[in-house]
Each structure stands twice: as structure tokens, then as C-alpha cells.
Amino acid sequence: MEGLEVIECERCPELCESRSRIVNGTGPDDADLLFVGEAPGEHEDDGGEPFVGRSGTVLDEALREHGLARDAVRITNCVRCRPPDNRDPHKEELTNCREYLEREIDTVDPELVVTLGKVPTEHLLERDAAVTKEAGTIEDARLDGTAHRVLICVHPAATLYDGSQQETFETAIATAAEVAGVAEGDGSGQSRLDGF
């Protein structure tokens, strides 16, 4: 690992086969908000960046609508290599990659960790979660021994399959923007925490 970038990793034999590359997190290493998804999909594996496919478009639009520029936040995944056929990462793969995620959370030390969907929510909170019901709630969690605030959010892809999830998703993103100090409708993507 160099800084927050994993350059080489062979911990998950199956993912070494299915990936084209390791997809590291993007965005400032001192961001107020750290969004955590599940694992790269096809587009992310091609492009080498998290959330650049359809889910990424949904996320970008919601961020913009709530005054957050994509490059002002940090975006990463629980697992950095694309699983075969876009299956969910196995428990062992999540465990293998956890050290990298914990180091990222520790270094960035965001105001809020935003979990996008069931996999990152359950992985980081270490409990079962009913994400649709719990979306928008903030919970204190000890991650790698350090206290962090975690905002539960539905996965952006959920809005593509179920329109009723759109409002749930938007409400959680609005809460994230509020915590980051962005005024509703500001549109600048500039956090009021900047400069302090």
C-alpha cells in the first residue's frame, strides 16, 4: 500500500482472476464525507475509479443537487476488486480488504462515513441492517478502535430498480450535505468547514 492506494494484492484468489485492476478510492484524503460502496462493477473495473457506471451517475446527480461536487468528497468500496459476474463479495473477501478500508477511514477521518447499501452497512456496523428502513440515520461506530459517525444510505442502484427508493436516497444525501455544512441549494460543492 502506498498512501491510500493498494498497488498490489493477491489476498483473494478468485478476485485476482476476475479483476482487470485494483480500484482504489478517489477524492481528497481529508474529505468531510467518505462514501463507501460494495465493490467495483464492470465500469469501475474498466475505468479504475469507484462509481463511474450507472450507480455513479445517480450518486453524482444527487451530490450535485445537494451542493456537493464529486471531487469534494471521497468515494471508495469495501472490496477493491471486481467480483466475478458482479456477485456480492464473500465474507472472506470483505475481511481480506478490511485493513485497506480501515486505513482509508482512519487517514481521511471524515465527519461522516456514508454506507451505500446493505453490504457496506452490515460490514462496517458489524450487525444485520434493514437499510431501507434505517436509511438517513446516523450511528456511532468504533471502526478499528476509533469512533466514527456512520450515515446509513441505500445503494444508488436501488433507485434504478425501485423508484420509491429515490426519496429515501435523496433524504440521506441531504443529511450528508448538511453535516458537511453545505447550504441547501448552494450548488458550489464548497463545504463551510473548508478554511477552518
Q: Which residues bind ligand URA (CB under 6 A)?
A: 37-41, 44, 50-51, 53, 55, 77
Q: Residue 125 is which amino acid?
A: L
Q: Residue 96 is which amino acid?
A: N
When the beta carbons of 39 and 131 are compared against ligand URA, the nearer one is 39
When the beta carbons of 32 and 45 are compared against ligand URA, the nearer one is 45
CB-based closest residue to ligand URA = 37
When the beta carbons of 27 and 50 are compared against ligand URA, the nearer one is 50
For residue 183, count other CB atoms closer than 10 A to its CB.
13
CB of 39 to ligand URA, least distance (A): 6
Q: Residue 191 is which amino acid?
A: S
Helix (H) or strand (E) segment spanning residue 78: none
Beta-bridged to residue 52, according to DSSP, are none
When the beta carbons of 46 and 186 are compared against ligand URA, the nearer one is 46
CB of 69 to ligand URA, least distance (A): 18
- Beta strand residue intervals within the chain, DSSP E: 33-37, 74-77, 112-116, 138-143, 146-153
CB of 170 to ligand URA, least distance (A): 18
CB of 77 to ligand URA, least distance (A): 5
**Closest by Cα among 151, 174, 179 to 67:** 174
Helix (H) or strand (E) segment spanning residue 118: helix 118-125
